[in-house]
A and B are shown apart, each in its own frame.
Chain A
């Protein structure tokens, strides 16, 4: 892939979690509000960019047999850095995201990109890939969060949108609402790409 293709593929062709169908756990769990989705997305983007960079730099050094263990150590280190930084600068957000920040370690999008991309591409391309996929993930999570917050609480990023008379569907900010929202979006995306005749091979 060229640099331009790499920079763009995360926004539609490999858009997580819809296209890659990886990273569903945070996409379902933290998206009760747009704000949380955005924060989670940016945290994942940071980890993804730097884990891709470091793994790409070390790709010729890391032996095949212990590559997954090495990737996990690198990713876990970055996640703890994010966790500490979030506590130092965005404390309320870190309290809301709680356990889901440490769980970025096992977010399959990150391990997936390390294995599928960073381990066989140059550092610059790998960072571009991390940025693209990370921002795509942020976009998806913010979208899911926005829909759920708007319908479930009548607010957007904490601002009242529909006013007093609006009776929120509380269902949408609870767990089943997350599945419903994600499923409908996935269906719409598939219908749209079928209409345009795009061929998707899930790899």
Chain B
């Protein structure tokens, strides 16, 4: 009995040490990792969505909090008017966890410009195909006022065969953004105006 107690104690202490050091490393590096993701992932994704250089878009960022989550929102201005939004959302229900994605919206037309994958842990060669352009191109020009759905649920998106979970996660992420836009549109616009007014360049 004493022996078992010792086993549990030692393994438990090693676990505590491990968790403490990981929490510390994560907290220390979080900001730098975010910068690197801006540079290598979010920047290029934004640049593909709006065909503009990345550094012009990355600075145009506001954060919108709802009851359930916080969404980084990037905006694009053309001729002094707001023309595009890109909202980052975590699509829930992926096979390997959330799929972090960026949904581009044309504000004037209320249409989706496209979706980009920021990070995911889906199975290489199966779910990871959500990154492929021919899957993502199905989002182009869909209306941004209604939920998107997989074809099996009566919608217009063809799921990747063998990767229904991953495809569904992309749909879920998009619908979060559609909801956010419907329920918090005024707040988003106000926050962007505020930021531009506060000396954020055009």
Which chain A residues have a beta carbon within 8 Å of chain B's beta carbons?
58, 61-63, 65-66, 69-70, 73-74, 76-77, 80-81, 84-85, 87-89, 91-92, 95, 98-99
Contact = CB atoms under 8 A, between A and B. Distances in A.
B153 interface: no
B7 interface: yes
Contact of A63 (B7, B25, B26, B32): B7
A30 to B, nearest CB: 13
Main secondary structure, interface of B, reads helix
Contact of B11 (A69, A87, A99): A69
A99 B7 CA distance: 32
A91 B10 contact: no
B40 A95 contact: yes
B14 A87 contact: no
A61 B39 CA distance: 45
B14 A73 contact: yes
A2 to B, nearest CB: 31
Contacts of A61: 10
A65 B5 CA distance: 12
A66 to B, nearest CB: 5
Nearest to A61: B10
B66 interface: no
A80 B36 CA distance: 17
Given A73-B18, A92-B40, A95-B40, A84 B10 contact: no
Contacts of A92: 40
Interface string B1-17: 00100110011001100
Contacts, number: 53
A63 B10 contact: yes
A189 B29 CA distance: 42
Given A66-B7, A66-B10, A73 B29 contact: no
Given A63-B7, A74-B14, 19 more contacts: A62-B10, A63-B6, A66-B7, A70-B10, A70-B11, A73-B14, A73-B18, A74-B18, A80-B25, A84-B26, A84-B29, A84-B33, A85-B25, A88-B29, A88-B33, A88-B36, A89-B32, A92-B40, A98-B124
A69 B15 CA distance: 10
Given A84-B33, A91-B36, A95-B40, A77 B124 contact: no
12 contacts: A63-B6, A63-B7, A63-B10, A69-B11, A70-B10, A70-B11, A74-B14, A76-B18, A77-B18, A84-B26, A85-B29, A91-B40
Contacts of A70: 10-11, 14
B54 to A, nearest CB: 14
A61 B15 CA distance: 14
Interface string B22-42: 100110010011001101100
Nearest to B36: A91
A169 to B, nearest CB: 24
Contacts of A88: 29, 32-33, 36
A53 to B, nearest CB: 14
A113 B177 CA distance: 49
Nearest to A87: B33
B21 interface: yes
Nearest to B35: A88
Contacts of B22: 77, 80-81
